Amino acid sequence: MDINNILERLKDNCKEEENTKVVLKADKKVNNQSGFSKDEEDKLYQEMMGFSVVKNEPIFNKSPSKIKSHTQSTQLITQNNSEIMNAIKDLKKLVVKIDKKIVLTNHSDEVNQIHIDETPQSLEIVKLLVAQTDASPNTIYQLQTKDGIKEITIESYYELSKFISMLDSYQYSMMVDSKLTFKNSKFNNYKNKLQIISNNILANSFKFLKRNSVLKDIILLGENIKKEFSLAYSSIENLEIIFIEIAESFKLPEYQESLYLAKLLNSKGFTLNTITIINEMLGEYLIDASLNLSPNISKYIQDHLDKIEITSRTRKAYFKLNQSTKEFFETNFNQDEITKPTTFFTFKTSKNNLIFKEFYKIYNSNKRNKREYFHIYTRLINDVRSIRNDLAHGNNEKLYNNIVLEIDEILKEFEFLCVEKKFLVR
């Protein structure tokens, strides 16, 4: 609607009629109330896009028998200006209402032709889609996939979105909601296997994952689901990479396996789990390095490890050896003055002295930085013990952010000393 054009037409009509003093023809039917002819009203109605508010436009009292002067007409227009503005506002409100009133229902053709991209939508967006379309569970939607158009019910798409949401959440948290259920049996099976993996990882029970086929099973199941539900491909792929890497880490020496797992859990924010793994990792490297000191020492240590494996108190016995090994290294090769050196094995054996002599040869060798590396390692043992005690016993002597930074640095130093430099190798 162009109000200015209407006003200008009114002004021009008033001026023309006043100057010419021409009386309107009798055969031109004029609406006495509005002052416009029928043709003018129809044309004006069309210009106003047919909105009902047009009928309530302000009335310009222009009588065909008595024409007002230009001044009087202008005064009248000014008086009705507020009414014109109100009419414009009413028209604007009506347009907004009409826009809002355009609603799709599950009975319309439009709702069944919605195309959802190959990239899966978030669960909240799918919920919004269901709410806004008022769709029934069996409403058919068309998915635009890489294989072309695929039809799916809104209920199935919602469950698929819920499954993908679980996968994406697990990638960052390594946890799954135990109460979460799916109607699709494959989704439920995958979720149950995720929970088994999660429970064992968070309990630092990696030997179960080594001996069980759950990692292999979940990878095979994921491949099956990817073929059937292409929307879940990327999310499953991201988890498969983690599971394959975990399985591959089990083929490495134990200390390198622990290094990978410590990095993994540290990246997910499981600080206590990480420092616990690092604490054991430090002893694992010393035991692994001791196996390479000499054939005689290697056989003795391996026999002891084999005996531990067949006992009913494996975990406790291995922890005891791990702990005594770290104390042996820390007290014998500390940069500070040694007050009371301890032995490699807690029980009496002639091999304790042999192990010390072999390590001391490496420590006292002419190779560059060997002594410095020994001292750094003893410092790592002390630092890790301090952090673990602080976290495990809730002492809170250190700020959490500072602890995270320390752990990052410890992992880097361990990898440099033990994986890159292999400082205990002659």
| pTM: predicted TM-score of the whole model, two decimal places | 0.67
pLDDT confidence of residue 297: 95
pLDDT confidence of residue 377: 96
pLDDT confidence of residue 403: 86
Check if the beta carbon of residue 151 is closer than 8 Å to that of residue 141: yes
- Written in H, E and C, the secondary structure of the chain is CCHHHHHHHHHHHHHHHHHHCCCCCCCCCECCCCCCEHHHHHHHHHHCCCCHHHHHCCCCCCCCCCCCCHHHHHHHHHHCHHHHHHHHHHHHHHHHHHHHCCCCCCCCCCHHHCEECCCCCCHHHHHHHHHHHCCCCCCEEEEEECCEEEEEEHHHHHHHHHHHHHHHHHHHHCCCCCCCCCCCHHHHHHHHHHHHHHHHHHCCCHHHHHHCCHHHHHHHHHHHHHHHCHHHHHHHHHHHHHHHHHHHHCCCCHHHHHHHHHHHHHHCCCHHHHHHHHHHHHHHHHHHHHCCCCHHHHHHHHHHHHHHHCCCCHHHHHHHHHHHHHHHHHHHCCCCCCCCCCCCCCCCCCHHHHHHHHHHHHHCCCCCCHHHHHHHHHHHHHHHHHHHHHHHCCCCCCCHHHHHHHHHHHHHHHHHHHHHCCCCCC
Please give the backbone phi and psi of residue 214, each rounded to the nearest 5 degrees, phi first. -60, -35
Beta bridge partners of 142: 115, 151
Residue keyed to tokens 């002052």? 35
Check if the beta carbon of residue 6 is closer than 8 Å to that of residue 84: no
pLDDT confidence of residue 10: 55
pLDDT-flagged residues of the chain (< 50): 1, 20-28, 32-34, 48-79, 98-118
In this predicted model, what pLDDT tens digit does every residue of 231-277 receive, in sequence order?
Answer: 899 999 999 999 999 999 999 999 999 999 999 999 998 999 999 99
Quickly count: other Cβ atoms within 10 Å of residue 32's Cβ: 10
Cα separation, 51 vs 103, in Å, equals 20
pLDDT confidence of residue 14: 53
Check if the beta carbon of residue 159 is closer than 8 Å to that of residue 182: yes
Cα separation, 236 vs 242, in Å, equals 10
Cα separation, 96 vs 342, in Å, equals 84
Q: Is 39 exposed, middle or buried (0-12, 13-18, 19+ CB in 10 A)?
A: exposed
pLDDT confidence of residue 82: 67
> 9 is written with which tokens?
């037409």
pLDDT confidence of residue 148: 72
In this predicted model, what pLDDT tens digit does every residue of 343-369 receive, in sequence order?
Answer: 999 999 999 999 999 999 999 987 778
pLDDT confidence of residue 238: 94
pLDDT confidence of residue 294: 94
